[in-house]
Structure 1
Amino acid sequence: MSASQPLVYPGLYDTASKLSANSQYWYFLLVCVEYCLLFLASVLSLNVSYDGNYHVATALVLILSLGVLISRFWLKPERDWYRGRALAESIKTTCWKYCMRAEPFGDAPNVHVPRAEFRAFLRSILDASRHIGDHLPSDGAASDQITPSMESLRALDLDERKAFYDANRIREQRGWYAKKAGINKRASKRWVCYGVVAYLTAIVLTLLRIANPSWDFWPIDPIIVIASSMLGWTQIKKFNELSASYTLTAHEIGIIQGKIEEVKDEKQFSSFVNEAEQAFSREHTQWVARQSHQ
């Protein structure tokens, strides 16, 4: 197995990742729909018409907005998003330990021993995730749980596994965290600028309204709703928090990366892999825990 070939993860990983991605999509979609309906309600509240149907339309928009809010509260898509991601990351880190022959999946007289231990681990985390079993997509249920690429990678010698782990796990994770840190930092600045523009626009319109009290149409409320929605969006996405957290994790991975050259035998490599996987999962585990308690 060459370093350019990607590792194929167990079918359960793909299933959990799909659950997380779908739930995240629906969570943000419901939030955006709710914001759009509130904006529409604020526009309708300007009373540009005195027709009875106009006010009925305003009431319907508010009812729809309430319905979306209740649906988001009842369905809690963010819960499946967090749980699915936690399940997927747990499977991924254990998969790498198995492929690298790290404890508790070290060398054994018979390869069937670590295979059985890996299957037992998958069974245990699946039993612990029964609460999301009904939400897991079924299209990946027939996929391999110990894939051929996992077995091929495990069969490599120590130097080959070290090179593959360095290129496809350590460097990949460090690059991912560094990239995400930059994306969130830029997004934070961008949304703050959008919010400042919206607030300044509302302030200017308010001052103009004082100077022109006879003018009836002042879209101040819709602009305030836009500004508030931008503030709410930055809080939901946690751009600043994630940027700082991802930056620290990228630096930590960089420190760990330098230790791989010191690994000389299987025992040292096992300890190195476990240390690295703990670093990879720490930030995500803490983030999921913070989100789950909100």
Structure 2
Amino acid sequence: MESANIKYPSLFNSSDKYSIKAQKRFTLLNKWTLIILVLSSSISSLTQENWAIWLSSALLIISTILTTLMSLLKFEKGWYEGRAVAESIKTLCWKFMTGAKPFIMELEPIDAQNKLIDNFKKLIGQRKDFFTLIGSDFAENEQLPQELITVREYDLKKRLSIYKSERLEKQKKWYTDKTQENKKWTRISFSIIIGSQILALIYLIINFKLEINITITPILISISTSFIAWMQLRRYQELSQSYLITATELSLIKSKINQVQNDVDFSNFVDDSETAISREHTLWLARRDNIELFK
């Protein structure tokens, strides 16, 4: 099976790095906000001494500051704007390399390259605010790597083999791995939510009989509520189902690879594959905002 060292344009690298950085910051802010709220609730529930009241109040102030930062810095928007741009560029590059529409093999090499650059320009025009945000580093590096041109110059058999191994199989593995990861965190989150609720119920029953002075029910409820909020934020169940469907669809599409006999067949095959990948990502974006994935 053929393999290739695929090098994407600087536009992709900058967008991808910014998206990952924004995602980490957004997740971190949310995580610490929830942790601080649980701590504040726990301290105020265990004791009403002055130090506890002051500490609980200070933690609430910190959580308010973190929430305000989330609202002002808009890390989530940077996360999915960057992801949309990066995935759009990757799709365009693979269509260019394989000779899929609109970069069909009948085009002269220079015309195909110009068409790819024009699509990059169109993408920048649609995302001016985002590219201003990530700075000028993308403008100073290569936007049409020789590796893309080299793959396009290969014969049909080699292009097909590279697309199968470097795009289809890697993308399918990514979806499969993410499916398992999200399923794992779904189980863990539900276990904590259900466990904390059961413990709270047990405590209430015991406290009714023994009249225990320490109150832990609010703490357990706070933990349960925080994990429910975290699951809503991370969308573990929803994503595991979405990734599984896309991985299955890619498997079905890959099974048709032996039917490709010429460049026209290959163009249609790549178009089907990239549509499946884009569909999953478009739905991912739609769950967060009404941002159209560039095609």
Q: Structure 1's 63 and 271: CA in aligned 2 closer, same or farther, altered over 3 A? A: same
- Equivalent residue, structure 2, for 1:134: 132
Moved more, 92-101 or 216-225: 216-225
**Does residue 61 of structure 2 align to residue 55 of structure 1?**
no
Root-mean-square deviation (Å): 1.8
Any gaps of 5 or more consecutive residues in structure 2?
Answer: none
Distance 2:79 2:157 in 1: 37
- Equivalent residue, structure 1, for 2:123: 125
Q: Show CA shifts across 1:191-248 (max 9, x none).
A: 11121111111112222221222x3222221221111111111111111111111111
Structure 1 residues 99-178: aligned runs within 5 Å: 99-108=97-106, 110-178=108-176
For the 8 Å contact 2:9–2:145, the answer to whether it is kept is yes
For the 8 Å contact 1:170–1:257, the answer to whether it is kept is yes
- Helix, strand or coil: the match of 2:102? coil
Deviation at 1:18? 1.0
For the 8 Å contact 1:34–1:69, the answer to whether it is kept is yes
Q: Which residue identity is paired with 1:93?
A: T
- Helix, strand or coil: the match of 1:99? helix
For the 8 Å contact 1:15–1:141, the answer to whether it is kept is no
Distance 2:217 2:48 in 1: 17
Q: Show CA shifts across 1:43-73 (max 9, x none).
A: 221353533x442222221111111112212
Q: Which residue identity is paired with 1:14?
A: N
Deviation at 1:144? 1.2
- Equivalent residue, structure 1, for 2:40: 41
Distance 2:127 2:114 in 1: 20
Q: Show CA shifts across 1:263-286 (max 9, x none).
A: 111111112111211111111111
Distance 2:261 2:183 in 1: 39
Q: Which residue identity is paired with 1:173?
A: Q
For the 8 Å contact 1:16–1:88, the answer to whether it is kept is yes
Distance 2:107 2:135 in 1: 37
Alignment: residue pair count: 291
Moved more, 167-176 or 279-288: 167-176
For the 8 Å contact 1:44–1:58, the answer to whether it is kept is yes
Distance 1:23 1:109 in 2: 39
Distance 1:194 1:46 in 2: 20
Q: Show CA shifts across 1:86-128 (max 9, x none).
A: 1100000000001111121123564111111111110110111
- Equivalent residue, structure 2, for 1:197: 195
Distance 2:38 2:84 in 1: 35
**Does residue 229 of structure 2 align to residue 232 of structure 1?**
yes
Query: Which residue of the other structure, out of 276, 280, 283, is the alignment partner of 1:279?
Result: 276
Deviation at 1:19? 1.4
Distance 2:19 2:142 in 1: 20
Distance 2:280 2:22 in 1: 21
- Equivalent residue, structure 1, for 2:89: 91
TM-score normalized by the length of structure 1: 0.93
Deviation at 1:31? 0.7
For the 8 Å contact 1:19–1:137, the answer to whether it is kept is no
Moved more, 238-247 or 158-167: 238-247
- Helix, strand or coil: the match of 1:9? coil
Q: What is the identity percentage for the equivalent residue pairs of Structure 1 and Structure 2?
A: 29
Distance 1:109 1:239 in 2: 44
- Helix, strand or coil: the match of 1:73? helix
Distance 1:96 1:105 in 2: 10
- Equivalent residue, structure 2, for 1:28: 27
For the 8 Å contact 1:181–1:244, the answer to whether it is kept is yes
Moved more, 175-184 or 138-147: 138-147
Q: Which residue identity is paired with 1:100?
A: T
Distance 1:209 1:121 in 2: 67
Q: Which residue identity is paired with 1:194?
A: I
TM-score normalized by the length of structure 2: 0.93
Distance 2:167 2:99 in 1: 15
Deviation at 1:141? 3.6
Q: Structure 1's 196 and 82: CA in aligned 2 closer, same or farther, altered over 3 A? A: same
Q: Show CA shifts across 1:154-207 (max 9, x none).
A: 111110001111111111222221221222122212211121111111112222
- Equivalent residue, structure 2, for 1:7: 6
**Does residue 254 of structure 2 align to residue 257 of structure 1?**
yes
Q: Structure 1's 50 and 194: CA in aligned 2 closer, same or farther, altered over 3 A? A: closer
For the 8 Å contact 1:15–1:138, the answer to whether it is kept is no
- Equivalent residue, structure 1, for 2:16: 17
